[in-house]
């Protein structure tokens, strides 16, 4: 399931992020990938040791926490602290698949069920830089408005096209979900969305209650705590 989540960050928050990132000290993005990824990755990242990275990462996590669509779709159990990257001057990331298990801290690890890209530059600020996800409907590149996020399965083969003008700024991170299976997670999200709409439309309360019970019992059956 590919899901466009609009307005994770407000316009003011995006402007502040960009202001802070303009003066940032970037490092070679290949420092955070394995040997295979390093062959096709050509971008810049905020170092994991950067105080700015830690501050902005906390702000992204706070924004995600208040976003009900993100929670309903991802059902997060763990989130890798968000990182930040910059593509410019032909920077790109060739086709790759994200690592299955990632180190968080203090010996803790995360299974990457979902990937998320939070766009910090509007599409008209750069040329190229589209996110290409193999097998996605239409096969077209994705470039969302600044502040919007794209959630997609972490096992997807994907790439970022070369940026030939301007700069593409984004935050990216991975999620271990309470529900490991993508199809089960998709069905739960669709059911949750339908329940919310039926409630707003004033549907029969007993029927909505019954559907809500089914949702929670499926979540109880499929979730890993």
Residue 202 belongs to a domain with what CATH number? 4.10.860.20
Say how many domains are in the chain.
Answer: 2
Predicted local confidence at residue 177, as pLDDT = 98
Q: Is 109 annotated as a binding residue?
A: no
Residue 106: pLDDT over 70: yes
CA 213 vs CA 16, 179, 209, 210: distances in Å: 42, 17, 6, 5
Least confident of 4-18, 36-50, 119-133, 185-199: 36-50
pLDDT (mean) for 180-191? 98
Residue 139: pLDDT over 70: no
Q: Is 18 annotated as a binding residue?
A: no
Residues 18 and 95 in one domain: yes
Residues 129 and 215 in one domain: no
Residues 141 and 158 in one domain: yes
Domain span at residue 89 reads: 3-177
Residues 130 and 201 in one domain: no
Longest dimension (CA), the chain: 58
Residues 208 and 155 in one domain: no
Residues 8 and 41 in one domain: yes
CA distance 174 to 99: 10
Residues 59 and 159 in one domain: yes
Residues 138 and 53 in one domain: yes
């Amino acid at each position: 399931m590919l899901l466009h989540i609009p307005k994770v960050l407000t316009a003011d928050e995006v402007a502040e992020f960009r202001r802070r990132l303009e003066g940032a000290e970037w490092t070679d993005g290949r420092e955070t990938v394995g040997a295979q990824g390093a062959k096709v990755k050509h971008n810049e990242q905020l170092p994991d040791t950067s105080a700015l990275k830690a501050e902005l990462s906390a702000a992204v996590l706070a924004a995600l926490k208040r976003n009900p669509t993100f929670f309903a779709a991802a059902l997060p159990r763990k989130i890798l602290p968000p990182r930040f990257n910059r593509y410019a001057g032909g920077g790109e990331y060739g086709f790759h698949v994200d690592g299955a298990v990632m180190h968080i801290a203090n010996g803790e690890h995360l299974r990457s069920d979902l990937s998320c890209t939070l766009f910090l530059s509007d599409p008209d600020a750069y040329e190229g830089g589209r996110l290409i996800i193999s097998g996605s409907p239409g096969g077209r590149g994705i470039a969302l408005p600044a502040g919007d996020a794209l959630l997609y399965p972490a096992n997807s083969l994907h790439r970022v096209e070369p940026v030939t003008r301007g700069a593409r700024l984004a935050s990216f991170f991975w999620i271990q979900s309470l529900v490991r299976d993508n199809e089960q997670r998709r069905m739960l999200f669709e059911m949750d969305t339908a329940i919310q709409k039926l409630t707003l439309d004033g549907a029969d309360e007993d029927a909505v209650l019954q559907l809500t019970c089914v949702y929670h019992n499926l979540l109880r059956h499929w979730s890993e705590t």
